[in-house]
Amino acid sequence: MNPHPHLSAALAILAELGLPRAQLNERSALCLLALLDLDPGKQWKQAGNPLIGITPIMDWAKAHYGAAYAPNTRETFRRQTMHQFVAAGIALYNPDEPTRAVNSPRAVYQIEAATRALLKTWSGRGWKKHLAEWLKSRATLTERYARARNLEQVPVQHGKGKLKFSPGAHSQLIKAIVEAFAPRFAPGSVLIYAGDTGRKWAHFDQARLHELGVTIDAHGKMPDVVLHDTERDWLLLVESVTSHGPVDGKRRDELAALFADAKPGLVYVTAFPDRATYRKYCADVAWETEVWIADAPEHMIHFNGSRFLGPYET
C-alpha cells in the first residue's frame, strides 16, 4: 500500500530541512505531522501547533495513519527523532514550562513558530523562497553534526604531545586508558598505537613497533591501544570495550598471532568503562589476561595464572 501523500511530503520536507539520513524515515515523518496536527483530511496550510508528548504522538500516528509502534519504542521516538528536531530548531521542548524536569512524564514538544510558518507554504509557489530564508537563518542539522565531529574531539595526552579523537564513549575510554590506566600500571610507557572510531590509525608509531620486531599489515585487526612498557619490556595490548566483546580466547589467539614476532613480552588487557559493562562480558574474558575498569582506576582484575600483570610463555 502506498503511503499517504502527507507522509511522503513530510519525508521530503525533512530532507530539505537538512535532517541527517538517520531521521529520514516514517517515524520522523509521523512525528512532524503530529507536531502539526496534520491528519489526512487537512491541507498543509491548516497546520496547527499543539503541545504534545511522546506517547500522544505515537497514539496520534496510530489513530490517523494506522502506524502502530510497540510501547518499548517510545525511547526511540524521543532519542532518534524528537531530540534531533529540537537540535535542528524544528521543535521546542517544554515551551509551556521550560523548567520542567527532564524526566517528567508531562514533557511536551511544540513545532517552532518560524518552522510552522514555513511548512504551511509547502507545495505552494513560495516554498522555495521561504525555505531558502529559513535555511539562511540557521545551519542544517547535518552541517552542525559534521562540524561537531571536528570540534568536539577528545584530547589524549601521550608524553609531551596531545592527540585528538572523535567524540563518543569508545574514544572516552581510549582517553582513560592512555591517561589513567597507563600512568598507574605501566608508568613511563610509550604509546605505540591508538585507534579511533573515525580513524583506525589515529596514532601509530610504526617505526618503533618495527624496532620491537612487529610489522603490521594494513588489514591487521589491531587492539585499540598498544603501550610499550620500556622498563619491563612489555607490550600491553589493550581492548576498549563499550559495545563489543573483550579479549576472549579467540581474540587472545588473534593478538598472539599478530604480535608473534614481538621481542617484548605480551600482556593482554580488556578495559571497560564501568562495572555494569564488565558484568555483561565477564564470562567471556580469557584466562591469563587482565581487566581494568575506568570507574575504579586504581584496581585491576587478574584472570588466573602465576603472576599479576605480566606476559606468559606461549
Instruction: Please give the model's pTM, rounded to 2 decimal places.
Output: 0.51
pLDDT tens digits in sequence order for the chain, 314 residues long: 457 899 999 999 999 998 888 899 999 999 999 999 999 999 999 999 999 999 999 999 999 999 999 999 999 999 899 988 988 889 999 999 887 776 788 999 999 999 999 999 998 888 999 999 888 877 676 666 555 545 444 554 465 566 676 777 888 898 889 888 988 888 888 899 988 765 556 678 888 999 999 988 765 688 999 999 988 999 999 999 986 789 999 999 999 999 999 999 999 999 999 998 999 999 999 998 999 999 888 888 998 766 667 787 66
DSSP string of the chain? -PPPHHHHHHHHHHHHTT--GGG-SHHHHHHHHHHTT--TTS-GGG-----B-HHHHHHHHHHHH-----GGGHHHHIIIIIHHHHHHTSEEESTT-TTS-TT-TT--EEE-HHHHHHHTTTTSTTHHHHHHHHHHHS--HHHHHHHHHHHS-EEEEETTEEEEE-SSHHHHHHHHIIIIIHHHHSTT-EEEEE--SS-TTSEE-HHHHHHTT----TT----SEEEEETTTTEEEEEEE-SSS--S-HHHHHHHHHHTTT-SSEEEEEEEESSHHHHHHHGGGPPTT-EEEETTSTT-EEE-SSSSSS-----
Domain boundaries, the chain: 5-148, 153-302
Architecture of domain 5-148: Orthogonal Bundle (1.10)
CATH 3.40.50.10880 fits 153-302, yes or no: no
